[in-house]
């Protein structure tokens, strides 16, 4: 028996996946996840029988509904679907997929479009964070056409601005969940930070790397991935996340110096392979660690107020506008924003085999 459900397939940031209204899917989470596995074709490494592309970047889904919160318009649940295994992980957020939530919510009638631009107030169910997503809506309609380019995506599109309002400590309850800004795990100095995404950061030089290696080189580096996974498992325990062996959280970052005092080079792991470019939430976390003192990547030019930080990745850079208040150990991130783009690929009926 074939199940037919509505679906909107979108390229969102440097990710791609189906977007669903919550009531298009089963209410029971087990049945919902089973349907997501079929939608992506997750059980097959190539994902030939679904919408996936054989990569973690294209094995994602977004579930959107009208929010019951007075301070938000919509709820957004992100699902990371397995590649070659029938799994669904709803612990992380995805900032790239988030960039498609605003246009999707407006076009589905959850938010009325204003003239010129429309801000959609999003509550991320995964992490409890709030994000303002601002979409261009000339003549009260979403437009995907524009001249904004983001590294890792061919062509240009309309800009979508993401403003993270309270993503610091949203998952673990503290921006530095181990209680330290720098820890030592397996003889390596690391910083464990929860800022839009729980991540573990270490310096490339401590691994004998220069930090500018490309993803394929890191993925094939003898013994590197197993060592990083052991470090990640211990970091997850120290961060209060428990056994993370079957979870993609926390992510891991190998960092090195950037081009100047306002940039940092990052290699972001998904976590079992190096990301082809970089996750948005990961860029927020890296920029936060860079802007605050006491971490393994703290900037040499720390100051309070607004600051543009460039996170350099294999495909280019992500510019993060970070606002900090206070000095020294009292410094806090109050807001972080960046620009993404999105494009609707198709809208129609998804046929799922039983």
Task: Calculate the average pLDDT of the chain.
Answer: 95
How high is the pLDDT of residue 92?
Answer: 85
Same domain, 6 and 95: yes
Query: What range defines the domain where residue 103 resides?
Result: 2-169+341-353
Q: Which stretches of the chain are DSSP H helices?
A: 29-40, 95-107, 215-219, 224-238, 280-291
Same domain, 218 and 314: yes
pLDDT at 91 over 90: no
Same domain, 144 and 263: no
- Asked if residue 174 belongs to a domain, the reply is no
- Asked if residue 175 belongs to a domain, the reply is no
Q: For 168-179, what is each residue's pLDDT tens digit?
A: 998 999 999 999
Q: For 320-329, what is each residue's pLDDT tens digit?
A: 999 999 888 7
Q: How distant is the alpha carbon of residue 151 from its chain centre?
A: 15
Min mean pLDDT across 123-127, 162-166, 287-291, 301-305 is at 301-305
Same domain, 143 and 32: yes
How high is the pLDDT of residue 304?
Answer: 79
Same domain, 65 and 45: yes
Same domain, 6 and 138: yes
- Asked if residue 70 belongs to a domain, the reply is yes
Same domain, 117 and 224: no
Residue 198: pLDDT band with limits 50, 70, 90: very high
d(CA 311, CA 280) in angstroms, rounded, equals 10
d(CA 238, CA 192) in angstroms, rounded, equals 9
- Asked if residue 233 belongs to a domain, the reply is yes
Kindly list the distances between the CA atom of residue 236 and the CA atoms of 94, 170, 224, 267, 297, in Å, as whole numbers in the listed order.
19, 15, 18, 19, 20
Count of domains for the chain: 2
- CATH number (domain holding residue 70): 3.10.310.10
How high is the pLDDT of residue 306?
Answer: 85
Residue 1: pLDDT band with limits 50, 70, 90: low
d(CA 273, CA 348) in angstroms, rounded, equals 32
Mean pLDDT of 150-159: 95
pLDDT at 286 over 90: yes
Q: For 208-217, what is each residue's pLDDT tens digit?
A: 999 999 999 9
Kindly state the percentage of the chain with pLDDT values over 90: 88
Give one word for 223, left, alpha or beta, with left for phi > 0 and alpha for psi -120 to 50.
left
How high is the pLDDT of residue 330?
Answer: 83
- Asked if residue 177 belongs to a domain, the reply is no
d(CA 138, CA 274) in angstroms, rounded, equals 38
Same domain, 68 and 194: no
Residue 181: pLDDT band with limits 50, 70, 90: very high
Same domain, 232 and 190: yes
Same domain, 161 and 238: no
d(CA 61, CA 52) in angstroms, rounded, equals 10
d(CA 203, CA 70) in angstroms, rounded, equals 42
Same domain, 23 and 6: yes
- Asked if residue 202 belongs to a domain, the reply is yes
Mean pLDDT of 145-150: 97
Same domain, 262 and 217: yes
Question: Looking at per-residue confidence, does 313 or 1 come out higher?
Answer: 313
Q: For 108-117, what is each residue's pLDDT tens digit?
A: 999 999 999 9
């Amino acid at each position: 028996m074939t199940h037919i459900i509505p679906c909107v397939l979108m390229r969102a940031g440097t990710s791609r996946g189906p977007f669903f209204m919550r009531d298009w899917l089963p209410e029971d989470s087990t049945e919902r996840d089973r349907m997501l596995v079929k939608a992506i074709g997750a059980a097959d490494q190539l994902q030939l029988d679904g919408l996936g592309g054989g990569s973690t970047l294209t094995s994602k889904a977004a579930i959107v509904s009208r929010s019951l919160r007075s301070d938000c318009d919509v709820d957004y649940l992100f699902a990371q679907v397995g590649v070659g295994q029938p799994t669904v992980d709803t612990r992380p957020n995805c900032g790239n997929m988030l960039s498609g939530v605003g246009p999707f919510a407006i076009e589905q009638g959850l938010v009325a479009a204003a003239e010129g631009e429309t801000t959609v107030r999003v509550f991320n169910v995964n992490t409890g964070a709030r994000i303002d997503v601002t979409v261009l809506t000339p003549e009260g309609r979403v437009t995907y056409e524009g001249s904004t380019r983001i590294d890792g995506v061919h062509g240009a599109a309309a800009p979508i601005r993401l403003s993270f309002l309270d993503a610091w400590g949203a998952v673990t309850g503290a921006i530095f969940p181990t209680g330290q800004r720098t820890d030592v795990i397996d003889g390596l100095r690391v910083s464990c930070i929860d800022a839009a995404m729980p991540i573990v950061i270490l310096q490339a030089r401590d691994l004998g790397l220069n930090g500018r290696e490309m993803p394929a080189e890191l993925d094939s580096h003898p013994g590197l991935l197993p060592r990083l996974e052991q470090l990640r498992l211990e970091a997850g325990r120290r961060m209060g996340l428990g056994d993370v062996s079957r979870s993609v959280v926390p992510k891991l970052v190998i960092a090195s110096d950037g081009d100047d005092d306002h940039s940092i080079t990052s290699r972001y792991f998904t976590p079992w392979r190096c990301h082809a470019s970089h996750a948005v939430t990961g860029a927020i976390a890296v920029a936060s660690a860079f802007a605050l003192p006491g971490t393994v990547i703290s900037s040499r030019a720390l100051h309070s107020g607004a600051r543009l930080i460039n996170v350099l990745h294999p495909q280019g850079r992500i510019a993060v506008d970070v606002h900090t208040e206070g000095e020294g150990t009292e410094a806090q991130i109050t807001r972080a924003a960046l620009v993404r783009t999105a494009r609707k690929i198709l809208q129609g009926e998804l046929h799922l085999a039983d």
